[in-house]
Structure 1
Amino acid sequence: MPSQGPFDLPGHVQRVVTPLSRRLVINRRGSTVWDVRAPDGRYAVKLGYPSRTHAWTAQAPAREAAILRQLIPEEVRSGEWEEGTWSAQPWREGQSLHELWEPHRRAKEPAAPSRGDALSCAAALAELHEGGWAHGDVQPNHFVLGPTGTFLIDLALAHGGEVPERHDFRYRGCLVHYEAPEISRSILESGTAVPTKEGDVYALGASLFLSATGSRHVAYPDDASRSDQRQAIVDKPHRPVNVPGPLGTLMERMMSRDPADRPSSAEVCRELRGAR
């Protein structure tokens, strides 16, 4: 059985990023992430390794690095280590959408969350889509809203450009709590799917819904298997959207079962800008 970490920064990685300090951010599902402060800046350093269920996670940091080099102006470093691959990318300061909307989940009555926050998330997604990419793993914790802007992070599953073959792998879905029905159906039928912009819009709607209400877009038991979760998404309608105002109405359209009925990310932005 593979080791499950967390893993410290290997010596050769430390020689590249020269950390002055480091803080463990997360270790799960084949990824150890460190917040590293170095003489030349602050970095998110990711170490990929095989998880108990997936081998592709070992290649995810290098795959993401290849994508980021096509999208951002800052330097992104990457390489290999004994368990898989690693990357060092600019640290994005801020709060996740899920953290930011926590007061709405504690409110006794449904309240309309900030359309400005929703717009900034939609704009980050629309920028990615305009560049020809689909993210493939849109979820509340991947939107970081901070003092210098809103960032859409964790692009290891994105599709739309060139990726070195040695670090590429098939897309087998994302965190199911935000997965669109057509993606779940494809995973159940063939084991793989193709990330789409329409699927990203659905996931953004599901992310806004869960961040505001605390409820998943589709109901299923907490201990349901991954396949049973996906089958519920395929078979059942999403929960009623009880978010008041124009944002709730827009979420409903974003989570339409038919991808053709969903607004594009650019249309979501236009509607949020014009909402009253």
Structure 2
Amino acid sequence: MEQALKPIGTRLVVNRRGSTVWDVRTTAGRYAVKVGRPVPETDEHPGQDWTGVAPAREAAILQSLQAFSVYGTWEYGTWNVQPWHAGTDLYELWKPHRSGEIGIAFDLTPALACATKIASLHDSGWVHGDIQPAHCIVGADNTAAIIDLALAQGGLLPNTLEFPYPGCLVHYESPEISRSILETGTAVPTTASDVYAFGASLFISATGWRHVEYPDDAPRAVQRKAVATVPHRPVTIPGMFGKLVEAMLSPVPGDRPTSHEVCSILACAIDAAG
């Protein structure tokens, strides 16, 4: 892989629990290189094998979406190479709002750009399954990319790349996803659970608070029980934007707006503020 890319610069981005990601610069362009491996069981965390398969699965999904990606295997798992998406994630982008450095009126253009990408993914027949602020990347010209598709569900993939959906980062799980993971060990993500996750992402990016309160060091099962049973924090974001986030965080999947409705309401809020 290194010989094929011929890197002129590399930067380690992530190295945790079965996943390592590099930002790799070459004369031909800039790429994300992801390497996966199984995670052994510890006293704090159960073991998991799917992390070794995840890079290859993500690459196959990107290929099905007509996006460039290649993948292969190594001694302990799989790897992929895909274009690097330069930009800033939503949480970092809205940091000045949370710190009080600027006024309360949010620039919702980045949120609309991300929502449009999510709606387009849903139109293609896929559900992301792992939406979080770090996966919503906004470029300098307000173009967006929704990254990390390894847990996406919807299309046909080789059996060797499939594994039961393990849930996502609990901070952004919907109540029905957390409930199903607790009861069965897996779940079926939907467009509605994606909308909830995006609502939770908007909420934490705007306020700095998780959508449901639980101790920072709580075990994952305790976190999921809170998400499944405890009402979400009050949405204090003002105006049309706050009402949208409130609707996206509905505990009833059918009461949430669709991803296209999220786009429409954000566009209206931008027009109203304009």
Same-fold status (TM-score > 0.5): yes
Match of 1:196 in 2: 190
Asked if the contact 2:96–2:102 (Cα under 8 Å) also holds between the matched residues in 1, the reply is: no
Alignment partner of 1:131 is 2:124: yes
Return the alpha-carbon distance in structure 2 between the equivalents of residues 109 and 62 of structure 1.
Answer: 42
Match of 2:44 in 1: none
The Cα of 1:70 is off from its aligned counterpart by 1.4
Query: Normalization by structure 2: what TM-score?
Result: 0.93
Write out aligned runs for 1:50-199 (5 A).
50-52=38-40, 53-73=47-67, 75-107=68-100, 111-147=104-140, 149-199=143-193
Tell me the amino acid that sits aligned with residue 57 of structure 1.
Answer: T
Query: Normalization by structure 1: what TM-score?
Result: 0.92
The Cα of 1:208 is off from its aligned counterpart by 0.3
The Cα of 1:110 is off from its aligned counterpart by 8.3
The Cα of 1:111 is off from its aligned counterpart by 2.2
- Aligned residues: CA RMSD: 1.4
1:78-114 CA distance string (max 9 Å, x none): 1001120000000001001111011112128982422
Return the alpha-carbon distance in structure 2 between the equivalents of residues 39 and 206 of structure 1.
Answer: 39
1:51-101 CA distance string (max 9 Å, x none): 23311101000000000001144x311100112000000000100111101
Tell me the amino acid that sits aligned with residue 8 of structure 2.
Answer: L
With over 3 angstroms needed to count, the CA separation of the structure-2 counterparts of 1:39 and 1:124, relative to structure 1, is same
Return the alpha-carbon distance in structure 1 between the equivalents of residues 137 and 101 of structure 2.
Answer: 26
Q: Could you list the runs of 5+ residues in structure 2 that have no partner in the other structure?
A: 41-46
Q: Could you list the runs of 5+ residues in structure 1 that have no partner in the other structure?
A: 1-12
Moved more, 238-247 or 104-113: 104-113
Return the alpha-carbon distance in structure 2 between the equivalents of residues 229 and 110 of structure 1.
Answer: 33
Match of 2:14 in 1: 26
Return the alpha-carbon distance in structure 1 between the equivalents of residues 166 and 11 of structure 2.
Answer: 30
Moved more, 255-264 or 106-115: 106-115
Percent sequence identity over aligned pairs: 57
Moved more, 101-110 or 259-268: 101-110
The Cα of 1:213 is off from its aligned counterpart by 0.6
The number of equivalent residue pairs is: 263
Query: Is the partner of 1:59 in helix, strand or coil?
Result: helix
Moved more, 48-57 or 156-165: 48-57
Query: Is the partner of 1:126 in helix, strand or coil?
Result: helix
Return the alpha-carbon distance in structure 1 between the equivalents of residues 7 and 74 of structure 2.
Answer: 17
